[in-house]
Structure 1
């Protein structure tokens, strides 16, 4: 295998490119002797035995159990694939783009390759986009391909947004940069999808075939499909013999599951002929992710939210300096707590606890005394055993008796329920997750027991892991609006709140993190009728026919029946007092300001 030298636009950085190639060659030579020794000791050339047992085990975990021939392909005994392999490859190709390097007056300097790794972030090499200035003048060109008719498809061009985020490292030779979400002709970047990055090791074994989707020499998109094999794996790099050409820098290297194994960046020069190459080198995805994680203290909250789309379970050092003080209150603290009052709005307006769908009843966490409802001051909570979070909370709010009480700096585990059913400091410590109050701190803080109610809201049972974007910026103060501005008869409101539990919620530190949260606000209007309005906050497009930007949390007013369907909770007669329930074919409304709420 041979290739030409790298891209012409790299001429100002040829010293860096030469250095990268020489370092790659040094790694190759040092490892060659070791590789031969291992194969000799094992008396085999089988790559499944040459690689470490730990990496082999990790690789097996990533294989779809329905693909019975996967292991045979990996060890080179069989080349049969399900036909869906080609379909998956086409899907993996969509987020790959040509990067056109331009100067400040628009002159084209050369080309590279990059690919989307989140709805708004692109990954390429440092030697392609080495600075914010370079990115600011350059563009990403998607859909630059030749179709079945052998004609070029219509290319979509997007500008970079390095002011939002620009992360680069010369040693690992990578750059992550934000990109505008709409092209000049109005095409959404989300139309091209993205390639998720998996931080775990073991995505590619020595001897396993790999594929590269690339823009060789700046030409339309091409693929080197299973051309050659991984020849070695280092701490931060992978060597493979797949063919590439100038312009391929920044291309994704895939295994047979079309999972990105590495970021292509350099050739390994032949020491006896500098015009030839004996292998190619890519940077391991796990190393890139680790670098980003270790830089976490340098990022703003907005940048962390952008990066969280790359690796949802990423962890960054806690930069707030806040010590989480955790205590457990005595059993006497809870004596006399009656919790939520179902007749708070009036005897004739009883609002009972919701019923559970039959398959969920066994998952309700029981208290040590046999009950299943945790009562606090003016609010109550029902917990899930499997999720270790609240199924729902419900609180009585009396706007006429609200009091100002300072925040509490301590968080509490509830001694009335087994600790294994509560997510404590082990989930929230040293990361960017907020300990989001489900019952808002101010809601039950009224009347003579205001101070006790304030303290009660700092129980981990009333806590849910939330991204700061959700907890601090987007979740409108619905209770305040309803109390202060609505046609509310007596300034009293009952509010149910909870997470939406989905099977595909990401797992972090053993806990599935909810991506959606809901509220139901109930009050008596001056005309004597109940009003029950439901709200959903999400970054998923769960509501049809609504414009929605993935990655941005938005609040929707939705039919109460939709919340019932998503949660498995039955609010019985309450849905009949929902104004949206009376309208046909209503799926929901975006709530951007309190005045958008329909009571």
Structure 2
């Protein structure tokens, strides 16, 4: 399989989209990506002038706030037919911003087709649409609500408080799942477990960054509910296939249950991994930054079916993130990248959730596997 560079991927995505016909939801997603990438009107105006030879934002858009003026800018760009150029320049200028990097895929997932599935209003009716990946379809509002609920169950793992070391997933009202290696110093007794903090809702929106809600772990021995180590030879050294008993997972008990409005993500022992080529989403705290979404495709299971591989981007701090399919079902626990990578990785990988769920003691399955 031949890989294209990020720049080539961006060009292909931009050319495939009709950026001047965005729906209201798609415009909102574009607006959110811009607001997450530029801290104020001045920095965005500098971008407009340098990259697009446009006047400062205030010169040709209405509105008082930064967000209102971005809204007006998108209306102007669509009317004048240069939204595609705008997006192309944005992705070149802010390639490391996770919302901007995944913008094309996010916009595509929010695409709304005319009723009846035809090409109404396009002046043609080729009828060439076909099922390609088999990922299926989803009602966008239901999908968006489910995504928001998942985000409330994701936390940043810190040790000590304020120092990010990974990501975790709430799987019961007082249980968080993460990687063994994220909390290995505590599990082997080198560092006190009281150092660990699970910070929920650490995320960015149009208003800025929320500090989130920190929750410590249960005292005594109650914090370490269950764990399974990683395979150092395969997962780190890249030698051979990982031992099926090495799942790089740890289940931690919180100091107290979360509020009833925060819904856990239940572990399903019959969760199936996406086929090769189907979409995957990784919700994570890359390098400890506010919660981010990375989109990619499944590369299938490895030879002994104990690791799922995919091409979604991750960074240090993403360990312990949930890997979801297109229907937002939890299918794997992200834990590592290609151990043979020197410059560019061939894949990232996670442990299938079905394997983790089945390995847990029966006493836990009454709660976290409901």
TM-score by length of 1: 0.34
Asked if the contact 1:211–1:242 (Cα under 8 Å) also holds between the matched residues in 2, the reply is yes
Asked if the contact 2:175–2:254 (Cα under 8 Å) also holds between the matched residues in 1, the reply is yes
Q: Cα–Cα, structure 1 residues 275 and 152, in superposed 2: closer, same or farther, change >3 Å?
A: same
Task: List per-residue Cα deviations over 1:449-502 (Å, max 9, x = no partner).
Answer: xxxxxxxxxxxxxxxxxxxxxxxxxxxxxxxxxxxxxxxxxxxxxxxxxxxxxx
* Structure 1 position 181 matched with structure 2 position 256: yes
Looking at structure 2, the residues matched to 115 and 97 of structure 1 have their Cα atoms a distance apart, in angstroms, of 6
Q: Which residue of 2 aligns with 1:128?
A: 182
Task: List per-residue Cα deviations over 1:316-352 (Å, max 9, x = no partner).
Answer: xxxxxxxxxxxxxxxxxxxxxxxxxxxxxxxxxxxxx
Q: Cα–Cα, structure 1 residues 114 and 216, in superposed 2: closer, same or farther, change >3 Å?
A: same
Asked if the contact 2:271–2:330 (Cα under 8 Å) also holds between the matched residues in 1, the reply is no
Q: Which residue of 2 aligns with 1:536?
A: none
Q: Cα–Cα, structure 1 residues 221 and 190, in superposed 2: closer, same or farther, change >3 Å?
A: same
Task: List per-residue Cα deviations over 1:76-107 (Å, max 9, x = no partner).
Answer: 6x8775332222111111100001112xxx7x
Shift in Å at residue 264 of structure 1?
0.2
Shift in Å at residue 221 of structure 1?
0.6
Asked if the contact 1:209–1:228 (Cα under 8 Å) also holds between the matched residues in 2, the reply is yes
**Radius of gyration: which is bigger?**
1
Asked if the contact 1:113–1:250 (Cα under 8 Å) also holds between the matched residues in 2, the reply is yes
Looking at structure 2, the residues matched to 263 and 217 of structure 1 have their Cα atoms a distance apart, in angstroms, of 17
Q: Which residue of 2 aligns with 1:367?
A: none
Looking at structure 1, the residues matched to 254 and 366 of structure 2 have their Cα atoms a distance apart, in angstroms, of 16
Q: Which residue of 2 aligns with 1:155?
A: 212
Q: Which residue of 2 aligns with 1:112?
A: 166
Shift in Å at residue 201 of structure 1?
4.4
Residue 166 of structure 1: which of 203, 209, 225 is its match? 225
Residue 238 of structure 1: which of 308, 325, 346 is its match? 308
Q: Cα–Cα, structure 1 residues 268 and 205, in superposed 2: closer, same or farther, change >3 Å?
A: same
Q: Cα–Cα, structure 1 residues 98 and 207, in superposed 2: closer, same or farther, change >3 Å?
A: same
Asked if the contact 2:174–2:254 (Cα under 8 Å) also holds between the matched residues in 1, the reply is yes
Specify the SS of the correspondent of 1:232.
strand
* Structure 1 position 87 matched with structure 2 position 157: no
The residue correspondences of 1:341-420 to structure 2 (distance < 5 A) are: none
Shift in Å at residue 205 of structure 1?
2.0
Of stretches 196-205 and 236-245 in structure 1, the one that deviates more from structure 2 is 196-205
Q: Which residue of 2 aligns with 1:577?
A: none
Q: Which residue of 2 aligns with 1:100?
A: 158
More helix by share: 2
Looking at structure 2, the residues matched to 112 and 80 of structure 1 have their Cα atoms a distance apart, in angstroms, of 30
Looking at structure 2, the residues matched to 194 and 238 of structure 1 have their Cα atoms a distance apart, in angstroms, of 23
CA RMSD in angstroms comes to: 2.8
Q: Cα–Cα, structure 1 residues 258 and 80, in superposed 2: closer, same or farther, change >3 Å?
A: closer
Shift in Å at residue 160 of structure 1?
1.2
Looking at structure 1, the residues matched to 132 and 203 of structure 2 have their Cα atoms a distance apart, in angstroms, of 29
Q: Which residue of 2 aligns with 1:215?
A: 285
Q: Cα–Cα, structure 1 residues 286 and 109, in superposed 2: closer, same or farther, change >3 Å?
A: same
Looking at structure 2, the residues matched to 176 and 153 of structure 1 have their Cα atoms a distance apart, in angstroms, of 26
Q: Cα–Cα, structure 1 residues 73 and 159, in superposed 2: closer, same or farther, change >3 Å?
A: farther
Q: Cα–Cα, structure 1 residues 243 and 194, in superposed 2: closer, same or farther, change >3 Å?
A: same
Q: Which residue of 1 aligns with 2:354?
A: 286
Looking at structure 2, the residues matched to 292 and 80 of structure 1 have their Cα atoms a distance apart, in angstroms, of 31
Looking at structure 2, the residues matched to 213 and 86 of structure 1 have their Cα atoms a distance apart, in angstroms, of 14
Higher RCO, 1 or 2 (CA under 8 Å, sep at least 6)? 2
Specify the SS of the correspondent of 1:177.
strand
The residue correspondences of 1:57-68 to structure 2 (distance < 5 A) are: none
Q: Cα–Cα, structure 1 residues 73 and 119, in superposed 2: closer, same or farther, change >3 Å?
A: farther
Looking at structure 2, the residues matched to 263 and 176 of structure 1 have their Cα atoms a distance apart, in angstroms, of 12
Shift in Å at residue 109 of structure 1?
5.1
Asked if the contact 1:181–1:189 (Cα under 8 Å) also holds between the matched residues in 2, the reply is no
Shift in Å at residue 220 of structure 1?
0.7
Q: Which residue of 1 aligns with 2:103?
A: none
Instruction: Give the unaligned 5+ runs of structure 2.
Output: 7-115, 118-129, 230-245
Asked if the contact 1:124–1:175 (Cα under 8 Å) also holds between the matched residues in 2, the reply is yes
Specify the SS of the correspondent of 2:347.
strand
Looking at structure 1, the residues matched to 329 and 138 of structure 2 have their Cα atoms a distance apart, in angstroms, of 18
Asked if the contact 2:273–2:332 (Cα under 8 Å) also holds between the matched residues in 1, the reply is no
Instruction: Give the unaligned 5+ runs of structure 1.
Output: 4-67, 183-187, 297-303, 313-599
Shift in Å at residue 307 of structure 1?
4.3
Specify the SS of the correspondent of 1:140.
strand
Asked if the contact 2:158–2:196 (Cα under 8 Å) also holds between the matched residues in 1, the reply is yes
Asked if the contact 2:332–2:351 (Cα under 8 Å) also holds between the matched residues in 1, the reply is yes
Q: Which residue of 1 aligns with 2:203?
A: 145
More strand by share: 1
Asked if the contact 1:161–1:178 (Cα under 8 Å) also holds between the matched residues in 2, the reply is yes
Looking at structure 1, the residues matched to 134 and 300 of structure 2 have their Cα atoms a distance apart, in angstroms, of 15
Task: List per-residue Cα deviations over 1:496-549 (Å, max 9, x = no partner).
Answer: xxxxxxxxxxxxxxxxxxxxxxxxxxxxxxxxxxxxxxxxxxxxxxxxxxxxxx
Specify the SS of the correspondent of 2:356.
helix
Looking at structure 1, the residues matched to 145 and 197 of structure 2 have their Cα atoms a distance apart, in angstroms, of 28
Asked if the contact 1:213–1:252 (Cα under 8 Å) also holds between the matched residues in 2, the reply is yes
